[in-house]
Amino acid sequence: MKKYFIATIVALTLATAGTLSFANEKSVEADLGIKTLTFGQIEGAYQYNNDHDFTTGGGTYAGVSVERELWGTNVFGTLSGELDEDIDISARDAFIGVGLGPVEFSIGRMPSIERNVADNTVNIFEGAYFEGDQSSGRVGNQAKTKFSLGGVSLVGTAEVDNDFDSLDSWGAGASYRIAGIGLVGAYAKDDVTGVSTILGGSTYTLKGVTIGGTFAQDETSAGVTTNTLSYVAQYSLGQNDLKGGYQNIEDGTNQYILEVAHNLDENASVYVNGVHNDDNILTVGFRLSF
């Protein structure tokens, strides 16, 4: 993981000419056109599933994003790390990119195309996620091209191995958003395992109610397929959010999630999350964003 931090630190340093500090952030932006955003989140939760565990849930992280006009081109980058309950730090995102009008090119460690589909549809919970949709789903050595115009986005990704001499995986996706409706679809192929995945999803929001769902089909190199259906719904009333979800994995276990979250303000919330599958898991936690 360290190589993603090192490479991105070097690239961000070059992009900002090594001049950034919190003390003179405004003057740097005024003089050199650098825009800097620090961000992060602290999460803590008590989880009960016959054991008593304290967990960060993959939700404790911090990072910095930098953007600058350089030689007539928009140059950007993000570097962030994630902290687990054992106080171990791992790379979260570490990438740089350039923007040319509606087209963006980026390279480094970023969310996979499958993770992007989940984040735009069914990843609505403060606590537990559906199987396979949690804080993982980030890929290193990845190159991404994105085209966005008029509510339509087209994305292509490719991941190479650590020696940069062969293609490990690739994917393509599209999304469209208009008013309260969102549509997304993607295809991903893992050349190492031979598994290909087709994904499709949609969301609809009206008067505080949001519903969404995804369909995913995994196919092995032997032609064996597994279908997964996921559905979610959210109702917001004042500072409170009521969320529910159901997931069915073909020939697998059904999963149910019910969650109640209270937003203390726009940056802080507390929640109770219950999951029913092979086990019953109850989680009580908090999130603080900055």
Structure tokens, 203: 């969301």
**Structure confidence at residue 51 (pLDDT):** 67
Is the distance from CB of 242 to CB of 234 less than 8 angstroms? yes
DSSP states of 151-187 as a string? Answer: TEEEEEEEEE-TTSSSEEEEEEEEEEEETTEEEEEEE
**pTM attached to this predicted model:** 0.80
**Structure confidence at residue 7 (pLDDT):** 45
Is the distance from CB of 257 to CB of 280 less than 8 angstroms? no
Say how far apart CA 103 and CA 36 lie, in whole Å.
21
pLDDT in single tens digits along all 290 residues of the chain: 444 444 444 344 344 443 333 333 443 454 567 899 999 999 888 888 776 666 665 678 999 999 998 888 999 999 999 887 677 888 899 999 999 999 999 999 999 998 889 888 998 988 767 765 444 578 889 999 999 999 999 999 999 987 777 889 999 999 999 989 999 999 999 999 999 999 999 999 998 899 999 999 999 999 999 999 999 999 999 999 999 999 999 888 789 999 999 999 999 999 999 998 877 888 899 999 98
- Report which of 234, 241, 284 is spatially closest to residue 266, judged by C-alpha positions: 241
Sign of CA dihedral 271, 277, 279, 280: positive
Which of helix, strand or coil describes residue 5? helix
In terms of Cβ atoms closer than 10 Å to its own Cβ (0-12, 13-18, 19+), residue 100 is exposed
- Report which of 221, 165, 166 is spatially closest to residue 193, judged by C-alpha positions: 221
CA distances from 236 to 43, 126, 214 (A): 21, 14, 21
Structure tokens, 235: 């109702």
Number of residues written out for the chain: 290
CA 160 to chain centre: 20
What Rg, from alpha-carbon coordinates, does the chain have? 20
**Structure confidence at residue 44 (pLDDT):** 86
**Structure confidence at residue 19 (pLDDT):** 35
Burial 183-205 (b: 16+ CB within 10 A, else e): bbbbebbbeeeebbbebbbbbee
Sequence-distant (6+) residues with CB within 8 A of 155 are: 113, 116, 144, 145, 146, 147, 171, 172, 173, 174, 175, 186
Structure tokens, 29: 């932006």
Is the distance from CB of 253 to CB of 235 less than 8 angstroms? no
Domains of the chain: 2-289 (2.40.160.10)
Say how far apart CA 96 and CA 171 lie, in whole Å.
19
